[in-house]
Amino acid sequence: MEPSSLSLATLFLLAAVSLFSPSDSATCTSQTFTNNKLYAFCNDLPFLNSYLHWSYDSAQSTLSIAFIAPPARPDGWVSWAINPTSTGMVGSQALIAFRDAKGGMTVKTYNVSVYGPLTESKVWYEVKESTAEFSGGLIRLFATLVLPEKGKTTVNHVWQVGPSVTGGVPDKHEFQPANLNSKGNLDLLRGQSGGASGGDSRTQKRNIHGILNVVSWGIMFPTGIIIARYLRTFPSADPAWFYLHISCQVSAYAIGVAGWATGLKLGSESKGVTYYNHRNIGIALFALATVQIFALLLRPNKDHKYRFYWNIYHHGVGYAILTLGIINVFKGLNILQPEQKWRDAYIIVIAVLGGIAALLEAITWTIALRRKRKTKNDKSTKA
């Protein structure tokens, strides 16, 4: 690979490692409530800009909570739930707060037994009281629960926010990383709330998947195409351009396959969550790139009668990979939703590569026209 392109890819890879560095936020300890109620513990939850306050009476098995979060949209909803059987959404016993038809706030209970439309129902615990309020862009959900299992001091909890309510029924939430990872375990007596063991692992795999694919399909493949298209114009670069091109594309393919495999693993671990367009383009990229790699074994000599057709096939597949790769990188960024500066950084990288390609295109056309003119003059002189 050309040294300059290797440096560019390496710098982008190192920068991308910090894509998901957490940002500073307000803490729950500074929050107060209009009812002046006090709680024994409070935690800043790691996702969805949310907070949980609670007190637990082990003798009565009574849990009082205040859950605070901004809804996905002003007319949306927020939810806090306990899952007595698992760590995810399915099986959770949820409290959901939203604005009712009269404009006031209501809290309803839902046994989330399946993915799909929610139906109000009784839940695993008894709800002694529940209220909600909306102010300052935040919904505050208050409830007092009686847990059926006395002596159980650690529970799996799930929290969520949604964009809207239709006909008194909360609509589905988004399936972004923050939504999918909003779960953990809650120690009622020690005041500790930890992320679910699988959440951090999945987030790390998503980050690795994104970084690998940005570097391979999004940077190295375009760089390899630029090398092949423009350096071959200069006789002094032959055959160095060919080996640079092959090295770049084979390396990009290896990294891309690793990213593709990580994506398949993520898909198998995310039942009910599928990004169809992103997945299908990824499969197409893998198939086309594999065919392109096999082109090395089928490459005929320059004077072979089939070389013309091989060039059409090789160039066509290459430009298809270039186009689909960049499209899928942006689809992946839409899914991962990193900070805007990282999206801007990738746009700058692509713009720089595009500018280099445009400049080299002009140079190669100038050289080609001069050579054509010189050849024509030589023929005229001989004639």
Distance CA 16, CA 11 (A): 9
Q: Report residue 10 as tokens.
A: 């390496």
For 252-278, give the DSSP string. Answer: HHHHHHHHHHHHHHHHHHSTT---HHH
Half-sphere exposure of 239 (CA within 13 A, CB side): 3
Distance CA 124, CA 94 (A): 9
Distance CA 177, CA 47 (A): 9
Residue identified by tokens 């695993």 is 124
3-state SS, residue 287:
helix
Distance CA 117, CA 97 (A): 16
Residue type, 132: A
209 is annotated as contributing to ligand binding: yes
What angle separates helix 307-336 from helix 221-230, to the nearest 10 degrees? 150
Question: Residue 169: beta bridge partners?
Answer: 166
173 is annotated as contributing to ligand binding: no
Rg over CA atoms, the chain: 29
Q: What are phi and psi of 152, to 5 degrees?
A: -85, 115
Distance CA 30, CA 39 (A): 12
Q: Report residue 208 as tokens.
A: 């690795």
Distance CA 22, CA 72 (A): 19
Q: Would you say the C-alpha torsion 268, 272, 275, 276 has a positive or negative sign?
A: positive
Question: Is 320:288 a contact under the CB 8 Å cutoff?
Answer: yes
Instruction: List alpha helices for 186-275, DSSP H.
Output: 197-215, 221-230, 240-269
**114 Cβ contact partners less than 8 Å away, ≥ 6 residues apart:** 90
Q: Which residues are annotated as a binding site for heme b?
A: 209, 245, 278, 314
Q: Which residues are annotated as a binding site?
A: 209, 245, 278, 314
